[in-house]
Structures are given as structure tokens and as C-alpha cells.
Amino acid sequence: MKKRILVCLTLVALAASLASCGNSSSSTSGSDNTASGSTDSSSAASGEEVVLTLPTYYCGENVGATYFEPAVERFNEKYDGQYEIQLEEVVEASYSDKMSTLAQSGKLPVLISGTTADWIDTVLIPQKLYYDTKDWLNESGIIDLCLDSSVDYSTQEDGSVVGVPIVTVSTTGLYYNGANYSPDKNIADMSVDEFIESLDGQNIAWQTVDNAWTTMLFLTALVANEEGGTEWLQEYDGSKCYDYNTEWMISAVTKLVDIWNKTGGSAYIGKAYADAANDFMSGNSAVICNGTWMNSEFSESGSANWSNGFDGANVHADYYPGNIAMCNTKAYGRWFLTNNYSSEGELEAAKAFMEFIYSPEELEQFALTEGCQIPNLESSEDYLASLDENQLLKEQTEKLTDETVLVPTIASIMPDSVANSVLANELTQLVNGAITPEEFCDTLTVKSEETKA
């Protein structure tokens, strides 16, 4: 009988469903000696199908379900009669709390998805609940796809590796409207001065409130173009910086003020992200800084937000002057194995699912669906052909080369309170002329140091 995926179950509904079916091979009773949502060891030993329940928020209405639910179907069809993955929906905001609760009760699933670095660092690693993936990553060949910086980050002092390090990246660059700006070459191949000159008075879609997102991205690019700036950003990837009184930071902020005044100036003071996006999609600015998640805004499905003759088909993607792109790579990956399994069959099922998810075919499908890149995978002909149907993703993929410099955003290396409020508040004062670049950087430093208390 064709296997079905039990998508978006609550724990109560799951128990009720299993009780009515009476199928011992898919029992997820969560008894004291069995990992939550797993089969018991007798099922695996007898050769019966191993069924794993996977708590995740990559299902239901979550955007991650677009790729993930069909992927689970494909896995279940491939391993019909041997392994089956059943999905249990968990609200994204409560995922870490749920995993912590399961860990405390000894019922952590063998397979974990979509978790956060905070929970990994505070619960999974200190309590040594993770399965060391080092040998398996090498045996399966998945290690060859992982980014070196993520492998280093995921490797513990004893040499063990936590989870599957980063394989795919969603790089943050910029977009430009070809209807009112036509650069002679890739923006990534320009210097900052060449880029500003090429705009010839066209605006950049800035913002100063909320978290100053679009402006913060361009400031990051300016820092990365300063001598010592790239190394500084990369040094703090995956950690926090508390000192912004540096030559490269002050120089970048000084240049930001000058560029701000040349490309929109006071018109953007008090603007939020929604204002910046609307400004770009009404043709009032030529450039907006943002990540690949904005691609869909320029397809026909997003046309309700267009005005003044704007056409998403005219939008192109590029990276920043100096060939700078933004992505946090000193981080954990998307998937983790735990050591809480009641049989070798459960562990092998989890490994099989990981090897399936990280197969070239699935990675390419994931990249097409999510709009991301796979730096260490050679693209197949079918994948390249599919890219022809997605102009922006094709440009983002083709322009991401071995020479592209990946740096974290400056907001990601700041203490959260500084990135979320102080940066925007001080930026407004900066572009108003109320404070100098030196005072701006000093305030960031002072406020960052205060978070240590």
C-alpha cells in the first residue's frame, strides 16, 4: 500500500491516529525507553519498516514546506517498505522550546531540522546529545559539499562534528532596475567609486528606521571594501564584536554619508523597509540592497505591489562593488543527528534521509525552490537548463564565483540590541548631520560594551 506522509500532526492527534490504526511498525508512543517519534528496536531487528516521526516547521503553511513536503514524499517512495518519514508540525517560534523539553525528558528525536544555534550551544552540545557525524560525513562524501568555515565551526574541541555543516547558501546582494539604470559591466566588478559614478544621480532605496536593513547592507559592503574591513568582518562571523572605533569602520561610515547625500539624501530619513521596497517597485530608485528572498517580489505573483509602470522583468541581480556578497558561514547547518535512538535501524534511517536530502538531485531541487546556491557542487545540465527559467536566480548563481568574497553583515556581528535599535537610531542622527562618523562609531562601541553587563 502506498505510504502516506502524516503532515502537520499535533502530538495528541498523532497518538490518536496511531491508536486507531493499531500498526506496531509505526508506533510513536514515546515510552520511557524509546526516543520520541521512533520505532522500537524489535521492529528494526525483525526487518520491518522503520518509521521516524520528524518534528519540524518545514511543513503546513511554512514557506519551507514548498520544497520539504514533496522531498519527504520522494524519500518515502524510494525507500518504500524499508524507511518512512512522518512529519509532525511544530510552530517555528516554539521549536527550540519543544526540542529542549524533549531533551530534558530523554525523548529527543534522532533527526532534528530547522533548529537554532542558541539551542545547539545551550542544550545539545553541553549535554552531549548529538551524534558525532565526522566519520559518516566522510564516508558518505557529504563533507566535500560542506563549506570549510562551517565545518570548522561545527567541529568541537574533541574533534567531533555536530550535524551537517552548511552546504547551501542564500547570498545577499543587490537588485537594480534595468529600466532606469544600465551599468556597462557587472556591479561586482566595479569599485565603490565606479558604482556611484555609474548611477549618474539615480537613487538607492535607503531606510533609517526598524533595523535600517537596506542601509546596513550597503554599509557592510563599504566596510568590506576598506583595507582590513573584510578580515575584520570574517573574524567575527559567528560571534559578536564590541569595538567599532576602527579605521575601516570610520572610513566606511564617512563614505556612507557622502553616498547617501548623492543618492537620495533626506528623502529617505524616517523610511522603513516597506517604504524602501515600495520606492524601488515604483521606479523611484534604481537600486535596493536585499537577499534572494526578494526574488519572488519581481515575478508576476508580486505584481500587485508594482506601480508607476514598474516591471519586475526589468530587475537584475548582482553583488556589491569589490565582488562582495553577504552570508554567515561560520554557523551550523540545517540538520542534526542525535544519539537518542533505540536501534541501529533508526540511526540508519536518519542517515539514509540525510544522504537523500544532500544528494545532487535534491540539492539542486532545493536550490531552485529556495533560491539559493550550492558553492561546492558542480551543476548538472538539467539544473542549468532550469535556471534559464529564473533570470534572477541564474544571475545570482552565475555571479557567485570562487573570487566572490563572503562576509557576514555588520548587524550580525553586533549584539542584538545594538543591531535592532541603536544602529538605526544613530544612523538617523548621522545622516542628519547631528553626529560625526567618529561619534557614530563610538556610540556603537559604548552601547555594545554595555551589553556585557
User: Which pLDDT tens digit goes with each residue over 309-332?
Assistant: 999 999 999 999 999 999 999 999
| Paired strand residues for 164 | 335
pLDDT in tens, 73-98: 999 999 999 999 999 999 988 898 89
The rounded distance, in Å, linking the Cα atoms of 149 and 165 is 9
Residues 184, 283 within the same domain = yes
Nine-digit cell string for 156: 568541537
Under 8 Å between Cβ of 314 and 179: yes
Please give the mean pLDDT across all residues of the chain. Answer: 89
Q: What separation in angstroms does the CA of 220 have from each of 7, 35, 172, 196, 252?
A: 40, 44, 11, 16, 8
Q: Are residues 49 and 133 in the same domain?
A: yes
Burial (CB count within 10 angstroms: exposed 0-12, middle 13-18, buried 19+), residue 281: buried
Q: Residue 15's pLDDT is what?
A: 34
367 shares a domain with 439? no
User: Which pLDDT score is estimated for 44?
Assistant: 43
User: Is residue 16 in some structural domain?
Assistant: yes
In a domain, 397, yes or no: no
| CATH number for 261 | 3.40.190.10
Whether residue 11 has pLDDT greater than 90: no
Per the CB < 8 A criterion, the answer to whether 411 and 211 are in contact is yes
Which among 224, 214, 149, 150 is positioned nearest to 188, based on CA atoms? 224
Residue 385 lies in a domain: no
Instruction: Give pLDDT, residue 277.
Output: 97
pLDDT > 50? residue 41: no
Closest by alpha carbon to 340, among 82, 109, 170, 84?
A: 109
418 Cβ partners below 8 Å, 6+ apart? 444, 447, 448, 451
Same domain, 316 and 348: no
Beta strand pairing status for 111-113 and 83-89?
Answer: unpaired
Q: Are strands 335-337 and 111-113 parallel, antiparallel or unpaired?
A: antiparallel
Instruction: With CA atoms as reference, report the closest residue to 208 among 284, 279, 269, 277.
Output: 269
The answer to whether residues 273 and 414 belong to one domain is yes
Provide the pLDDT for residue 337.
97
| 37 — pLDDT class (breaks 50, 70, 90) | very low
Task: Tell me: do 156 and 260 sit in the same domain.
Answer: no
**Is the residue at 2 inside a domain?**
no
Average pLDDT rounded to a whole number, residues 297-301:
93
- 8: pLDDT confidence band, cut at 50, 70 and 90? very low
Is 350 found in the same domain as 409?
Answer: no
Per-residue confidence (pLDDT) for residue 63, from 0 to 100? 87
CA 36, CA 105: separation in Å to the nearest integer?
A: 9
Assess if residue 398 is contained within a domain: no
User: Amino acid letter at 449?
Assistant: E
Task: Give the domain range for residue 140.
Answer: 11-168+331-378
d(Cα 129, Cα 149) in Å, to the nearest integer?
23
Domain count, the chain: 2
**Within a domain: 234:** yes
CA distance 6 to 275: 41
Assess whether 283 and 374 both reside in one domain: no
Both 299 and 197 in one domain: the answer is yes
Task: Clarify whether residues 360 and 433 are in a common domain.
Answer: no
* Grid cell for residue 425: 537610531
Mean pLDDT across 387-408: 94
Residue 3 falls within a domain, yes or no? no
Q: Are residues 297 and 185 in the same domain?
A: yes
pLDDT band at 46 (very low <50, low <70, confident <90, very high): low
